[in-house]
Amino acid sequence: MARDQERQSNHKFEKKPKKHIVKSVASGSIAEEMEIEPGDAILEIDHTELEDIFDYQFLTQDTYIEVLVEKRDGEQWLLEIDKEMDEDLGITFESGLMDEYRHCCNKCIFCFIDQMPKGMRPTLYFKDDDSRLSFLQGNYVTLTNMSEKDIDRICKYHLSPINISFQTMNPALRCMMLNNRFAGEALKKVDRLMEADIQMNGQIVLCKGVNDGAELEFSIKELMKYIPNLQSVSVVPVGLSKYRDGLYPLEPFEREDAEEVIKLIHHYQDICFQRYGMHFIHASDEWYILAGEPIPEEERYDGYLQLENGVGMVRLLLNEFYEEVEYRKKKGMLPDQGLKKECSIATGRLIYPFLQEMAETLMALCPGLKIHVYAIRNDFFGERITVSGLLTGGDILKQMRDVEKGERLYLPCNVLRSGEDVFLDDMHLPELEKALQVPISIVKSSGRDFVESMVGKERGKNNE
């Protein structure tokens, strides 16, 4: 455990070190015992200056470390700490990265941020291309913003997995799509990661007439060379808002296009499964919905490696829902005549048919339950944007004002900014509640949460 501390008022540096400011200290932690407080700064660990969170995590793994802290009054303490291997010090920093976020240097022809209207909150216009966010938050990076030093650190710390936006394996085409003359050369960094045994996931944003068809097939074949380190690659259709004046002329995919994409992906899924025991290349749910084809079985998703990219979300939702319903039926946990409830659900047009199916299933089992499901048209970004995560409070208000809502309105959690009660258009949840004059509940994305929201957690109990 923590051993002792030495106060060093006259500790000298040849250069001014980075100061990583402590935001909070966990109760009962090593940091609390060593009297580290919010507002203090961590300068060094084991005489090594910290660049970011990865240096901090790597350098605090050992059982004995020395931490140089600068107190709020400027006094410096050198703390000697004995602890368990990988035991956390209990410090949260003001910046999650312990560094500035890196801005994207590309001008991608498909970038959604370039398709947003003016006047939204400034944070929505920030384009990140920071490899560190790939490990911390699952963001996808293009590799164009990574130096050789960045690659060296990933290999040294053996950070995995890293999520990469490939778009195409044709170097010249990649330069065009990203509007970056170094974008093709950046693909060579994948070889470095492969040699260091770094795990990767990939993404291709498909643009009609640009990187689809023969180009997509070429990219799939090239990416297969990185199996098994490259665990999965998703293919998602480009999102096109109505704010594209002056941007590269991209066309929306139609039903026939989606059918061709699915056919190609399933062909290579079969090849990969036969060779490697994994399907590897995955079509996002939009393709199946656009093509009017059934959502694939769970086994085709290889454990849902690309769930956050919209790959398998519908299948997982439906499976969880029907498993929960069957469990409750067997246990006698579905309310029959005891439940009297009328409510409503507002969602994106993409997922609407499946939520409607789930609602009808529950209503058939619970005669006292009435659920209104509404597909909200995205007037803010344009009708071709159909995901619930890009709905605005204004569109929900306008389209829900004069419909039957029942005693409560349910919204999916992704309509709100993470950890807050604000929509993309800066409308706050209480504002929407007041305008619609109905209580609003936010529902998590699982099928089980859907059932619990509609019929309650316990038999006969209407738990809101």
Residue-by-residue DSSP string for 112-162: SGGGSPTTS-GGGG--B--HHHHHHH---B-STT--HHHHHHHHHHT---E
Residues 6 and 118 in one domain: no
Structure letter (DSSP) for residue 228? T
Residues 398 and 306 in one domain: no
State the pLDDT at residue 100.
54
Distance CA 458, CA 441 (A): 18
CB-CB contact of 204 with 211 (8 Å): yes
State the pLDDT at residue 372.
98
Residues 192 and 338 in one domain: no
Range of the domain at 16: 2-93
Residues 27 and 47 in one domain: yes
Is 462 a member of any domain? no
Is 343 a member of any domain? yes
State the pLDDT at residue 238.
95
Residues 323 and 181 in one domain: no
Token pair of 363 as six digits: 């209503």
Residues 296 and 404 in one domain: no
Rounded-to-10 torsion of CA 72, 78, 79, 85: 110
Residues 140 and 261 in one domain: yes
Domain count across the chain: 3
Is 463 a member of any domain? no
10-residue stretch averages of pLDDT, the chain, 464 residues long: 48 61 92 93 88 78 90 92 88 70 76 85 58 51 84 82 93 96 94 94 96 98 97 96 94 97 98 97 98 96 92 97 94 77 96 97 93 97 94 97 97 88 94 97 93 76 41
Q: pTM of the full predicted structure?
A: 0.80
Is 185 a member of any domain? yes
Q: What is the CA radius of gyration of the chain?
A: 26
- Whether the upstream peptide bond of residue 122 has omega within 30° of 0, thus cis, is no
CATH code for position 68: 2.30.42.10
Residues 73 and 196 in one domain: no
